[in-house]
Chain A
Amino acid sequence: MAEVIDQGIGELFSDPDPDRAREFFKGKSRKKVNKVMPLSDAIAKFVHDGDYLGIGGFGANRTPIAACHEIVRQGRKKMGFAGHTATHDMEILSAGEVYDRIDAAYIVGLEARGLSTCSRKYIESGKVKVTEWTNYALSLRLKAAAMGVPFLPTRNMMGTDTLRYSAAKTTICPYTWKKLVLMPALSPDVSVIHVHEADVYGNCRFKGIAVADLDLANASKRLIITTERLIPADEIKRDPGLTRIPYHLVDAVCEVPFGAYPGTMPYEYFSDEEHLKNWLAVEKDEESFKAFLNHNIYSCKDHTEYISKNGGMAKMQELRNKEFLLCKEGNS
């Protein structure tokens, strides 16, 4: 048995036992059936109070924002949340006080845009249990789960409070006698990933960086896909090398055009910086924020309504031009 020479005091929110996870997957359907359903049905069916939630993409890049809105709209509570590059997704989930425990790698901020008052206040309130990690640590924890092993060793975090407030353990390598930090497997109960294209069975293609989504897909017990567009299954079969998430991992396929708005969807549309800035600003006043949330989430039937309230098709066209840097063409 490996000797534990140090360990963090943070709470472990997910069971790292690979055999219990295998038992779950033994019972999960492998049937190739049509899994298309409205997003509201998918969230109602597969996202439960108390579940541990994973969100794909990177904060406001290829992130399933429509799904985050729907989770808040349906009033999910007491969830665990993987705060892995969590930015605008966390801002939305904090507004709904959806989670009460978080694995924190990157939280609260929106990178160069600034800190979210709403996310900050919620964490600072003491209502949320926080265990510290790093971005790579959470990537590795998902990879461990995806590999069916209880942990993966790494050489970061040593000597820091990040390690002290994590749930990682330190041991000695039996080959080299070097210290290793062990990252426990993280199997979210449910995750949502936004992709460019999927067929009705859940075979998915996406373009650009993967972030941690291939491991997230494999690590998660249940997986909801939101997709910019549905494509024929024959198109998937034409070039299966392009499939990045295969159908057997997927529980629901929801067609949500512009589903990452107001974030960026690579090769489709750029982020709506004006709207994100407005969101950060309005959070500073509680009453205005309540009205803002009501306008943009609670009173919206779906993502299409949210988009139509924020510039509609004209805005999407503008953001598409921005993504393709069209304003720079022919100017030099």
Chain B
Amino acid sequence: MSEYNAMELMITVAARELKNGDSCGVGTGAPCAAAMLAQKTHAPDLLILFEAGGLSPELPEMPISVGDSRTFYKAAMAGSMSDAMEYCARGFVDYTFLGGAQIDRYGNLNSSVIGGHAKPKVRLPGSGGANDFASFCWKMMVMTPQDEKRFVEKLDFLTTPGWLDGGDSRERSGLPLGTGPYKIITNMAVMDFEPVSKRMRVISIHPGNEFSDVQRKCGFELLRAHKIVETKPPEPKELTILREQVDPYKVILGR
């Protein structure tokens, strides 16, 4: 078994979720690395969209911005933000990867403020395109390091919708039907959501961790799937492509 770090594992696990012929709205950083790895391994026909308007580029290197020229390098189209978001709104986009400063048991995300809104302790960027992607894409995934400060009982601010208050609350909210959080990929485990309560549930644990470790690094009570499997570690071929072609300068892998 080859050596790998937590970021390489997360990116590999995320990449495997993306099927050939699917479409995915991505941002910069780890999500982009996952989409690139999928394209260079099992999913050459993955349709990648960037919120600023880049559609189906052949990414020559990791973009620095979701609007820089790499995001429409040899692309099918250099469109607009409305173009990108309207493909999502219309139901064309299968996946999106998001992140945030805080996440709760229903997969809701905070990327706006820590503390109160009027005079916040820390002001963060806000939604950007996250709320849009999470509202419109069929399946929302999150890639994030896991700790009890990030996985919280209550968000300071609900920027981006997950399953809202759980149960059927998302459906009742008016958001497009059939959308919602799908998988949460952390440095320790993979979670999905229990179908009725919509609470976060551990389905796969990365090698070297126990359920109790995963629970300890989470500020709310996690559900356990009937059968929790061990996450399949990255294969040598995946690692080689990731290190040599996707992120040779270790912009993301070095984090």
Contact = CB atoms under 8 A, between A and B. Distances in A.
Interface in A124-173: 124-126, 130, 132-137, 139-140, 143, 154-162, 165, 170
A209 B118 CA distance: 34
Contacts of B213: none
A165 B174 CA distance: 18
Interface in A238-281: 264, 266-267, 270-271, 273
A108 B127 CA distance: 12
Contacts of A109: 124-125
Q: Looking at chain A, what size class is its interface with the partner chain? A: 35 or more
B80 interface: yes
B82 A212 contact: yes
Nearest to B165: A159
Chain B at the A interface: SS class: loop
B53 A211 contact: yes
A325 B176 CA distance: 41
B126 A105 contact: yes
Contacts of A313: none
Interface string B69-112: 10110000011111001000100000000000000000010001
A116 to B, nearest CB: 10
Contact of B169 (A133, A155, A159): A159
B89 A161 contact: no
B136 A155 contact: yes
Contact of B65 (A119, A213, A264): A264
B132 A136 contact: yes
B226 interface: no
Interface in B185-232: none
A108 B82 contact: no
Contacts of A57: 67
Contact of B173 (A108, A179, A180): A179
A196 to B, nearest CB: 12
B69 A158 contact: no
A32 interface: no
Q: Which of A119, A135, A160 has the most CB of B within 10 A?
A: A160
Interface string B136-149: 10000000000000
Contacts of B120: 123-124
Nearest to A207: B78
Contacts, number: 195
Interface stretch (B4-12, B36-44, B152-160, B234-242): B152-160
Contacts of A180: 174
A132 B128 CA distance: 10
Interface in A97-131: 104-109, 111-113, 115, 119-120, 123-126, 130
Contacts of A107: 123, 125-126
A134 B132 contact: yes
Interface string A210-238: 11111100000000000000000000000
Given A106-B126, A154-B89, A325-B60, A111 B28 contact: yes
Interface stretch (A36-44, A58-66, A300-308): A58-66
Nearest to A128: B123
A155 B135 contact: yes
A236 to B, nearest CB: 20
B233 interface: no
A156 B65 contact: no
Contact of A156 (B108, B132, B157, B170): B132
A139 to B, nearest CB: 5
Interface of B: 27-29, 51-54, 60-61, 64-69, 71-72, 78-82, 85, 89, 108, 112, 117-132, 135-136, 157-161, 164, 169-170, 173-176, 251
Closest 6 CB pairs of A and B: A179-B174, A58-B67, A209-B53, A159-B173, A156-B135, A106-B128
